[in-house]
């Protein structure tokens, strides 16, 4: 595997726009081999032309250790923003797993974005972190249909396996939920898909579902996506070009109706769907602990 140099890996986030209340970002890997046809990280602006080839940051664990021990203030370390921390190489390299050990040792919390069931391997260390700091795991699920999932996300476990991973985490006390994004125009933006994801999320013990009823397309990503549409959904590209042209934000034409359906069903099921509410809930216990010190 190719290695790339890095000076720092655990980097302070820009507030107040931090993703789910993360105080720091950590990306050990660069690129991803899940093969998702819609991935925004493939865009030219990120300057990673061989995106489908996973690279690892050289001497990552030493850098992470040094970064953490230099922090004046602890907080939540987010990972998975640009590449999945549980790509297939993680099975043997265990860099994410070992980074979690460091996060635990230095008294930080963690917020994980992933599509991989490999995250369940690290349930024991997540439980240890949870004893002193906030923990949240966000599992991306875009469709309840495993067949469609195999087209959209060909090199990662199917949706049914990801729901099972959520169940395993929830059963072990890990605060977790679903990133229901992207919902692709003309492909998975249906009422049946939304309702099925919500109900399976609830059955799996998820505490929240956070949606995006549409997708983004920009240079690099757009060309790849259209190429995949030609292979998987003939004539679909024409519909995109006709409706969106070269737009960056491609909102589903069903977005308003789907949002109302989604919101009502979440309320019925007791699932959170607002980022601020989700963040407050997974951090609540630790906020009270801090206040009690004063």
Owning domain of residue 122: 3-293
Q: At what angle do helices 123-130 and 95-105 cross, to 10 degrees?
A: 20
Report the Cα 164 to chain-centroid distance in Å.
Answer: 16
The pTM assigned to this predicted structure is 0.95
> What is the mean pLDDT of each successive set of 10 residues along the chain, which is 294 residues long?
94 88 97 96 92 96 98 95 95 98 98 98 98 98 98 97 98 98 98 98 98 97 97 96 96 97 98 97 82 48
- For 218, phi then psi, to 5°, come to -140, 175
CA 12/CA 29 separation, integer angstroms: 18
Which residue is it, tokens 């349930």? 123
CATH number at residue 149: 3.20.20.70
Report the Cα 194 to chain-centroid distance in Å.
Answer: 18
Q: Say what the pLDDT of residue 288 is.
A: 60
Number of domains in the chain: 1
């Amino acid at each position: 595997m190719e290695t790339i140099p890095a000076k720092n890996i655990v980097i302070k986030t820009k507030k107040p726009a931090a993703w789910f209340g993360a105080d720091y970002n950590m990306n050990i890997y660069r690129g991803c081999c899940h093969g998702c046809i819609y991935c925004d990280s493939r865009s030219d602006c990120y300057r990673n032309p061989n995106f489908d080839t996973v690279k690892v940051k050289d001497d990552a664990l030493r850098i992470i250790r040094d970064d953490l021990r230099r922090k004046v203030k602890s907080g939540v370390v987010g990972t998975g923003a640009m590449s999945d921390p549980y790509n297939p190489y993680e099975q043997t390299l265990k860099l994410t797993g070992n980074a979690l050990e460091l996060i635990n040792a230095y008294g930080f919390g963690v917020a994980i974005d992933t599509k991989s069931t490999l995250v369940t391997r690290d349930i024991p260390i997540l439980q240890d972190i949870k004893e002193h700091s906030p923990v949240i795991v966000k599992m991306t699920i875009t469709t309840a249909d495993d067949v469609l999932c195999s087209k959209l996300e060909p090199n990662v476990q199917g949706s049914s396996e990801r729901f099972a991973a959520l169940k395993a985490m929830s059963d072990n006390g890990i605060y977790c939920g679903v990133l229901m994004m992207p919902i692709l125009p003309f492909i998975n933006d249906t009422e049946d898909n939304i309702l099925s994801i919500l109900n399976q999320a609830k059955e799996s013990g998820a505490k929240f579902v956070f949606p995006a009823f549409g997708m983004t397309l920009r240079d690099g990503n757009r060309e790849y996506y259209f190429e995949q549409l030609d292979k998987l959904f003939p004539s679909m590209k024409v519909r995109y070009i006709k409706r969106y042209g070269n737009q960056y934000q491609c909102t589903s034409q069903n977005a308003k109706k789907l949002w109302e359906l989604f919101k009502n069903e979440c309320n019925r099921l007791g699932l959170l769907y607002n980022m601020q509410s989700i963040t407050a809930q997974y951090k609540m216990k630790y906020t009270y602990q801090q206040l009690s010190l004063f």
